[in-house]
Chains A and B, each alone.
Chain A
């Protein structure tokens, strides 16, 4: 494959596992470039990146996951990558499934391909309440813009060049994953899925604590509805 692929790895306080994540990626998918975006971690993440001579971008202030990933898209845009893939810095996403996700975008089947843990229902399936929330958002997305995605909160996703350009300027903030599906669909991009298996995180803390769940659901649902009624649908 002659397309240039960049793996964007957002990292916030991942000193314990970022090294193994990057090394695993380089061992399994050496043909892909990668960049770690350190979101002003308060632990030793930056030191780990520096000591191991990883390719990294260091944000001087904490921007949250949306601004973090967007930095990765800007980097992909500036450096002329054809495909950019988001992959969490906590080791949940397995590089073995990268080629399948990238392939769907590379052969033009879709503009964005999401790695979904619910297609083959293997591996870590997350808690009941989380699945309930995911199903709710999934239904909301299907009702509002007709897009059929099973794992709407998955941060394991590949985008083609035109979507990289779009995300470099318009990327949802705070809790961006479901909202990004919405904005991409409304902007006329095609969203697809490929099966992936995810691991349960072993170190670090999830960015979504139980206390924040209610706020998360409210904010994301509102953002989806707002985008539906304020963004004009485009066809590519």
Chain B
């Protein structure tokens, strides 16, 4: 039970921090408080390619936040100790799919950046954390999907066992 409470608290904290960050971005950017640069270019000089990267990154972030929201919901139901309830199974599955899509979209962003640079005549192969994050998120997403499937199977077995007279 203690682990569940710690898990729920950490997920809540992560979600809140992300939402606060997102609200911060939405307020500070239009007001021009911070200077946004991409590849040493000011916003006014951005091309469609730059804007598509920003938009795709933003969509990826929103998908990730939605996945986190489902994880938070799942953690809330986890506190009631009903591990085989449909709420937990459905929310875990939703979290998994959202994290998987986040990973795929992130890979899409990396590919767009790579192809764009290639188009401009620069060939760059950089190995850093940015490559590992989508891989990790995709693995976690797939694990959640598999976990929800196994929970569903376990629920059916439990139900069958309970209804065997």
Bound together: no
Q: What residues of chain B have their CB less than 8 Å away from a CB belonging to chain A?
A: none
Q: What residues of chain A have their CB less than 8 Å away from a CB belonging to chain B?
A: none
